[in-house]
Amino acid sequence: MYTTLITPTELRELQNRAAPLQLFDCSFELTNPDAGEAQFNEAHIPGALHAHLDHHLSSQSPDDRASGGRHPLPSRETFAAWLDRIGLTADTQAVVYDRQGANYSGRLWWMLKWCGHEAVAVLDGGLQAWLASGGPAETGPAAPRSPAAPGGFALRDPLTRLVDTKAIASRLGDPSLTVVDARAAARFRGEVEPLDPVAGHIPGALNRPFVDNIGADGCFKPAPQLRAEFTQLLAGRDPSSVVHHCGSGVSAIPNLLGMEIAGLGRSALYAGSWSEWCNTPGLPCARSQVSGG
């Protein structure tokens, strides 16, 4: 079972063994929501399905949301129903990838864990690494699938921890809480804010831009390097105290995954993130804090 990362070579080995496998292409662009599907149609790993951030990995219904923010999580039940319809089962190894440095595939990795499915891994280096390794690609929409028999995917206890706004607000300043913000440094400091109505960050938060987890080769940095970087960031804080967030609960996941690769455990996610925090009346917003301080 692969639970964090999988390499192109390891993926080919699974394919050659005809192991139960489902590939998900999560490519997406925030400024052009239709771009991900177009990218999928241009090239994707054979057998992959396209998981759309807005349509499959976020809720469009105000009455069926597990978080707030710009990309609200659907309820676990609604998401599990989609997994059931596409035929995912308990013995299926899920492999998720994108073209954007695990920014969007990480969301599906986390959501599958949230629904109790441990056998999910991010393809290290994304589609680019797959193609560079000589892996095949196909074009056009996903191949038609036979309707899955209902009841194949059973919702199980969460394997991840979801934290809400109230939990963060009630513990500000508590040393048992360490908030790590994955947005770019300029957004964290409040110098710019292209997406949300208020600039800044949650008071006391640390800043680690999600791109810092990715090396020059497009893959996650080696575990010892990630461990050293997170240890320096936390500066003695307990890794189990960490709650990750970003703008809307998406780009925080590479930090969460990076800590797990580093051997620092599976930390929590504040999925509502800055977009929910800064839109909640009465909550404090800080600016110009030194990054990582």
> What residues act catalytically?
246
Which residue is listed with tokens 């504040």?
270
Name the strands in the sheet holding 5-6, side by side, starting at the edge strand that comes first in the sequence: 5-6, 120-123, 93-97, 21-25, 49-50
Which three-class secondary structure state does DSSP give residue 255?
Answer: helix
Which three-class secondary structure state does DSSP give residue 286?
Answer: strand
Round to whole Å and give the CA distance between 182 and 187. Answer: 10
Enter the DSSP assignment of 86: T
Element (H, E) at 114: helix 105-114
**Contacts by residues 160-163 (CB-CB < 8 Å, ≥ 24 positions apart):** 160/110, 160/113, 160/114, 160/266, 160/268, 160/269, 161/266, 161/267, 161/268, 161/269, 162/66, 162/67, 162/73, 162/114, 162/268, 162/269, 162/271, 163/243, 163/268, 163/269, 163/270
- The residue type found at 122 is V
Angle between helices 76-85 and 105-114 in degrees, nearest 10: 110
Question: Are 267 and 242 in contact, with CB atoms under 8 Å apart?
Answer: yes
Round to whole Å and give the CA distance between 207 and 185. Answer: 7
Outline where 202-288 has alpha helix (H).
223-234, 253-261, 273-277
